[in-house]
């Protein structure tokens, strides 16, 4: 006879066997369904880009046949705003397009999705109003199924206004508010049962990283659904070779509601981690909505597993490894195009960032194109994404109105930004405001509300701000950062070090950073002497910008408690009210020109200091090609250990570089043209010509 302990042991063994069999059957079932799904006719979503052949007409135009044929992306301010016209057109623009609606779509759902339109967009189908979106920098979608006539062309009309609205952010800003449908528009056709496209413009899939360690990553997937006939949601996680490493599922309930939310937790053992620019390894998560063995809908999202923290003394740690956050700010515009950019433009910008050695991007002062987030994921950039809650900076007016309609729009845009970008591993920080003031309507209480909302939406990330004020406005986010310009807007360049030390003492328990620092420079503005200029003047000599950045970076690099610093700006950008550089309407604080064709000297200073992988040699002050003094100091930037210089064939040896990748040569020029050649020990060289004249 078996004793009691023996019976219990036998029962436990049987239970474990049953659990094991059930688990194996579940895996086999999921694998079998996955196998079948490759052979069963799928009815997945169809995405149809409708960027081409729209008719555009200004809202004030009443004449028939007055429209012009355009393609999206489009803005109507690519000429007037970029021509320095401070009174550029801020009003109504009307877009119309006829779209063939297939008869086969009759028993499906049809959505229209805009990646952005600035700033109020009201959508009509066949003359009937579908809906309105208020906010110019996030995506939005409407279901238009019930507005369509199937089997024939349907008229889509979009009325877009970039006029000032006192209940929509931003109210003010030192940048252009380009009007138009300036990002892609797609029709999306799905089965009646689908993954929702109507949750704040998102993809309807949220991957919450609950806990990540080198040993295991726990993720909670939340999927929003529409319809009543789906039976199951399957999640497949694929590695960077495309191999399935995990399959999980959950049954869809049969309650009679048109919108459902399904949660599927999963974990990955010994995951590869997303380690920033060092190794930005990504998984792909395929979310499939099933009816039996039939795939009804599928959404693919990135998954980059990582954990991070920010310390008040030592800054940011990514996966336990310290990372000095070397960031840049970027606006989303270009000459002749305004903000109506194409993928190639975003690709070029990210490439320039990486060439320079930047490892972080502040998307100022609004969410950028979704493609930029994708590129940042793949490049390993650390992203600060912010809502356009923007104050006046050094200008008049205010960025906050204490009305419920205004505050509701702020909440809406914050939720949209977070839900649309939650799955991007590159996003570390949610920015809540830029350069607000406490005078008049005080935004402090509302900023605290936004901070709570951001954490409720996404507990895994930190909040931050970009302030230019003292006071309680700086104490309402996880991290604090300031826009600092001593040495440009008043004061001396050296004041940045004193400010940082004092701020660190005053806020010892809060990580502090610099959200903006920079100085203007025109590439045709050259001084032989180093002399501080008036920022309000037309004359912005390049050598002062270079000096400014050299001194700032030295101060920053010596202060590890600065959690992150961001150059203002990587590129010159449009600001219609500005009167500086060669043409009006440009803010020239970029270290690369507006057209991306010329990298200013400061760019190469950072490249020499930040990018130690790609060898480079660069002779500074090359555009100051006419000199009046024979005795000159030639400065060379290089990430190499030794550099030699030849002047008219005469060789000058340098000592080793200083601590900031600068080489200095004392030379004597001859009258007329002089050839200057800098070479590193591995054969890299740069060449310029300098003319000495009386």
Q: Are 179 and 119 in contact (CB under 8 A)?
A: yes
User: What are the distances in angstroms from CA 179 to CA 77, 95, 183?
Assistant: 6, 12, 11
* Plot region of 46 (φ>0 → left; ψ -120 to 50 → alpha; else → beta): beta
How many CA atoms lie less than 13 Å away from 575 in the CB half-sphere?
Answer: 20
Cβ of 25: how many Cβ atoms within 10 Å? 10
Coil, strand or helix at 353: helix
Coil, strand or helix at 160: strand
Rg over alpha carbons for the chain, rounded to the nearest Å, is 29
Q: Are 147 and 125 in contact (CB under 8 A)?
A: yes
Q: Which long-range contacts (C-beta less than 8 Å, at least 24 apart) are formed by 345-348?
A: 346/371, 346/372, 346/375, 347/375, 348/596
**Total residue count of the chain as it appears in this document:** 694
Residue 435 appears among annotated catalytic residues: yes
Can you tell me which residue has the tokens 């109210």? 171
- Give the whole-angstrom CA distance, residue 136 versus residue 164: 12
Catalytic option among 119, 248, 435, 542: 435
Cβ within 8 Å of residue 170, ≥6 positions away = 177, 365, 366, 388, 389, 390, 399
Q: Where are the beta strands (DSSP E) in 115-171?
A: 120-125, 128-134, 140-143, 152-161
- Give the whole-angstrom CA distance, residue 60 versus residue 68: 14
SS3 content of the chain, % helix, strand, coil (to 5): 20, 35, 45
Q: Are 355 and 607 in contact (CB under 8 A)?
A: yes
Active site residues: 435
């Amino acid at each position: 006879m078996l004793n009691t302990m023996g019976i219990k042991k036998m029962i436990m063994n049987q239970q474990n066997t049953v659990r094991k069999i059930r688990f194996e059957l579940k895996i086999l079932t999921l694998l079998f369904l996955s196998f079948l799904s490759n052979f069963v006719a799928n009815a997945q979503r169809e995405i149809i880009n409708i960027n081409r052949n729209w008719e555009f007409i200004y809202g004030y135009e009443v004449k028939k046949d007055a429209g012009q044929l355009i393609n999206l992306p489009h803005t109507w301010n690519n000429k007037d705003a970029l021509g320095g016209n401070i009174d550029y057109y801020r009003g109504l623009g009307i877009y119309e397009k006829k779209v063939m609606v297939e008869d086969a779509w009759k028993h499906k759902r049809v959505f229209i999705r805009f990646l952005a339109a600035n700033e109020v967009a009201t959508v009509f189908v066949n003359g009937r109003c579908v809906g309105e979106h208020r906010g110019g920098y996030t995506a939005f979608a409407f279901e238009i199924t019930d507005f369509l006539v199937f089997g024939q062309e349907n008229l889509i009309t979009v009325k877009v206004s970039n006029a000032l609205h006192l209940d929509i952010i931003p109210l003010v800003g030192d940048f252009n508010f380009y009007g138009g449908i300036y990002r892609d528009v797609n029709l999306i056709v799905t089965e009646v049962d689908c993954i929702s496209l109507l949750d704040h413009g998102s993809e309807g899939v949220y991957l919450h990283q609950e806990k990540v360690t080198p040993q295991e990553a726990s993720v909670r997937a939340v999927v929003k659904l529409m319809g009543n006939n789906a039976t199951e949601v399957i999640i497949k996680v694929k590695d960077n070779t495309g191999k399935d490493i995990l399959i999980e599922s959950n049954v869809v309930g049969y309650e009679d509601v048109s919108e459902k939310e399904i949660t599927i937790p999963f974990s990955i053992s010994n995951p590869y981690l997303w380690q920033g620019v060092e190794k930005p390894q990504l998984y792909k998560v395929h979310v499939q909505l099933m009816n039996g063995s039939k795939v009804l809908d599928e959404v693919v999202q990135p998954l980059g597993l990582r954990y991070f923290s920010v310390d008040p003394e030592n800054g940011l740690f990514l996966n336990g490894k310290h990372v000095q956050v070397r960031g840049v700010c970027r606006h989303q515009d270009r000459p002749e195009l305004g903000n109506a950019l194409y993928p190639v433009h975003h690709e070029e910008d990210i490439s320039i960032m990486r060439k320079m050695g930047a490892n972080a991007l502040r998307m100022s002062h609004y969410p950028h194109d979704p493609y930029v987030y994708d590129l940042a994921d793949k490049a390993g950039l650390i992203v600060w994404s912010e809502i356009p809650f923007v104050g006046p900076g050094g200008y008049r007016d205010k960025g906050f109105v204490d009305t419920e309609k205004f505050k509701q729009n702020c909440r809406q845009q914050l939720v949209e930004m977070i839900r649309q970008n939650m799955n991007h591993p590159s996003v570390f920080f949610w920015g809540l405001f830029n350069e607000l003031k406490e005078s008049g309507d005080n935004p402090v209480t509302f900023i605290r509300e936004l901070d709570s909302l951001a954490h409720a939406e996404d507990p895994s990330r930190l909040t931050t701000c970009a302030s230019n004020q003292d006071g309680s406005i700086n104490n309402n986010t996880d991290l604090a950062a300031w826009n600092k310009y001593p040495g440009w807007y008043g004061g001396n360049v050296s004041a940045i070090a004193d400010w940082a030390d004092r701020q660190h003492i005053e806020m010892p328990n809060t990580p502090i950073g610099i959200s903006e620092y920079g100085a203007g420079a025109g590439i045709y503005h050259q001084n032989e002497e180093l002399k501080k200029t008036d920022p309000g003047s037309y004359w912005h000599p390049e050598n002062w910008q270079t000096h400014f950045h050299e001194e700032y970076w030295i101060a920053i690099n010596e202060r590890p408690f600065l959690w992150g610093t961001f150059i203002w700006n990587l590129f010159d950008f449009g600001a219609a009210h500005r009167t500086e550089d060669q043409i009006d309407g440009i803010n020239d604080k970029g270290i690369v020109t507006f057209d991306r064709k010329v990298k200013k000297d400061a760019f190469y200073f950072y490249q020499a200091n930040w990018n130690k992988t790609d060898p480079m040699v660069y002779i500074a002050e090359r555009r100051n090609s006419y000199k009046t003094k024979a005795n000159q100091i030639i400065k060379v930037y290089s990430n190499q250990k030794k550099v030699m210089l030849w002047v008219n064939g005469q060789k000058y040896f340098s000592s080793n570089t200083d601590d900031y990748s600068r080489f200095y040569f004392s030379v004597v020029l001859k009258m007329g043209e002089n050839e200057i050649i800098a070479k590193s020990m591995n054969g890299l060289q740069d060449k310029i010509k300098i003319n000495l004249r009386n």
